[in-house]
């Protein structure tokens, strides 16, 4: 039985990769990886370190305006066609992207069960993050199976009326992904990261990793964050900053205008996943508005300053692994200083998003949804 895994962005692909590997090892289920085309090239790049490749690429017209309506209008007919041709037993969508919402709608309209990976995350504020909070709430209304990463996410779904038997608490598959890549301990492929790593070792300096890419961070909020980065560098002479900048021209131009030429600051293109994992392991501190990094950093005990006013990853804050700072310059710089000076320390509690077995638990839940069981050696004999 085919299980279609739909990805349009790099984070989706990274979190679907462990599930694809687990399904590929199953005797009765087969993963079909579909690239929606939302972010061309990024899905392939994310899958490559796992030895995976895209099975189907949707023929979506090139975008002119870049708007959500234009993207959705292109995705829906392409998804409908792909689903009719491949007739999967179920469709797995991940998270809260436009690809996720479009895939869930197209499958729902055709009567194909929708499996929502990373279900139940909530800020309960439709404006933050926008439009992701709306997308994931809408998908929850039509999903047949909700793979919740935590007990808190499962409780949020139950509070919205989702039946208990439709929810499976699995942990987050990003923990599976980060552990697999970290175990390989691959050397840095990005030249700037490799050079920075040597400088850190030679000078006994510390690394602060910074990422900011969310749409609500663009413009003035990012300007305040960049001012905080300047303060951190000025106040901590033993700190080097690495900022892998989002490829969006608006973001990249703003980052380079504020940081280019600043001593002990390195701005790079987005890092390939093994390099990002390496940077997370090296870092003494992370400043980020990324949801994925909030989930990945606790694996290495790396403290996180969250560049958002609210987070749907509340467990990482509650566990003492991250601190909310929003985009207030002084608050970011002060929280970073307290962490770098040792006044604040991350709790050594492990990763609140699981131990690396989320994909196995997700496959078990999909088996139950589809009425399929793995054939054990005893049963086969």
State pLDDT tens for residues 6-56.
999 999 999 999 999 999 999 999 999 999 988 888 899 999 999 999 999
Q: What are phi and psi of 225, to 5 degrees?
A: -65, -45
Coil, strand or helix at 344: coil
C-beta of residue 107 within 8 angstroms of C-beta of residue 84? no
Q: What is 190-341's CATH topology?
A: Rossmann fold (3.40.50)
Q: What long-range pairs does 148-152 form, CB within 8 A, spacing at least 24?
A: 148/119, 148/120, 149/118, 149/120, 149/121, 149/295, 149/353, 149/354, 149/358, 150/120, 150/315, 150/352, 150/353, 152/120, 152/314, 152/315
State pLDDT tens for residues 48-67.
999 999 999 998 888 888 78
Q: How far apart are CA 339 and CA 221, in angstroms?
A: 22
Global confidence as pTM:
0.91
Per-residue CA distances from 94 to 13, 103, 116, 143, 275 (Å): 9, 10, 6, 11, 23
C-beta of residue 175 within 8 angstroms of C-beta of residue 299? yes
Helix axes 273-282, 191-203, angle to 10 degrees: 10
Given pLDDT bands bounded at 50, 70 and 90, which one contains residue 374? low
The mean-pLDDT minimum among 96-110, 234-248, 366-380 falls in 366-380
The answer, yes or no, to whether residue 90 has pLDDT greater than 50, is yes
Q: How far apart are CA 271 and CA 234, in angstroms?
A: 25
The answer, yes or no, to whether residue 103 has pLDDT greater than 50, is yes
Task: Provide the 8-state DSSP code for 167.
Answer: E
Average pLDDT for residues 88-111, to the nearest whole number? 97
The mean-pLDDT minimum among 81-90, 227-236, 366-375 falls in 366-375
The residues facing 322 across adjacent strands are 304
Q: What are phi and psi of 111, to 5 degrees?
A: 75, 20
> So which residues are the catalytic ones?
96, 118, 132, 213, 215, 246
Q: Find tokens 């840095």 and name the residue.
A: 188
For the domain made up of 2-171+356-370, the CATH class stated in words is alpha beta
> Where in the chain is CATH 3.40.50.2000?
2-171+356-370, 190-341
Q: Find tokens 């964050």 and name the residue.
A: 225
The answer, yes or no, to whether residue 376 has pLDDT greater than 70, is no
The answer, yes or no, to whether residue 380 has pLDDT greater than 60, is no
Average pLDDT for residues 188-192, to the nearest whole number? 95
């Amino acid at each position: 039985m085919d299980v279609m895994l739909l990805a349009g962005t790099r984070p989706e692909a990274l979190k679907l990769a462990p599930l694809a590997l687990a399904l590929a090892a199953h005797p009765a289920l087969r993963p079909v990886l579909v690239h929606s085309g939302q972010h061309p090239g990024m899905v392939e790049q994310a899958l490559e370190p796992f030895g995976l490749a895209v099975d189907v690429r949707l023929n979506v017209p090139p975008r002119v305006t870049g708007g959500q309506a234009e993207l959705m209008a292109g995705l829906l007919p392409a998804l409908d066609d792909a689903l009719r041709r491949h007739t999967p037993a179920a469709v797995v969508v991940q998270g809260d992207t436009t690809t996720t919402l479009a895939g869930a709608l197209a499958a729902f309209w055709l009567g194909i069960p929708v499996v929502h990976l990373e279900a139940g995350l909530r800020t309960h504020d439709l404006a933050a993050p926008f439009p992701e909070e709306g997308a994931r709430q809408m998908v929850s209304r039509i999903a047949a199976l909700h793979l919740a990463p935590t007990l808190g996410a499962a409780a949020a779904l139950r509070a919205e009326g989702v039946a208990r038997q439709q929810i499976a608490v699995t942990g987050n598959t990003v923990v599976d992904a980060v552990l697999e890549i970290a175990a390989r301990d691959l050397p840095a492929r990005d030249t700037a990261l490799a050079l920075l790593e040597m400088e850190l070792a030679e000078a006994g300096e510390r690394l602060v990793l910074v990422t900011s890419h969310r749409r609500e961070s663009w413009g003035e909020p990012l300007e305040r964050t960049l001012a905080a980065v300047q303060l951190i560098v000025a106040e901590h002479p033993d700190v080097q900053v690495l900022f892998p900048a989002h490829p969006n021209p608006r973001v990249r131009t703003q980052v380079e205008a504020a940081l280019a030429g600043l001593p002990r600051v390195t701005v790079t293109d987005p890092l390939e996943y093994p390099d990002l994992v390496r940077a997370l392991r090296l870092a003494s501190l992370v400043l980020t508005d990324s949801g994925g990094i909030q989930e990945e950093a606790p694996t290495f005990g790396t403290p996180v300053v969250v560049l958002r006013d609210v987070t749907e990853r509340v467990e990482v804050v509650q566990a003492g692994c991250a601190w909310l700072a929003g985009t207030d310059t002084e608050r970011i710089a002060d929280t970073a200083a307290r962490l770098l000076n040792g006044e604040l320390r991350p709790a050594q509690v492990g990763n609140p998003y699981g131990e690396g077995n989320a994909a196995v638990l997700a496959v078990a839940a999909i088996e139950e949804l589809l009425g399929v069981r793995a054939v054990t050696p005893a049963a086969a004999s």
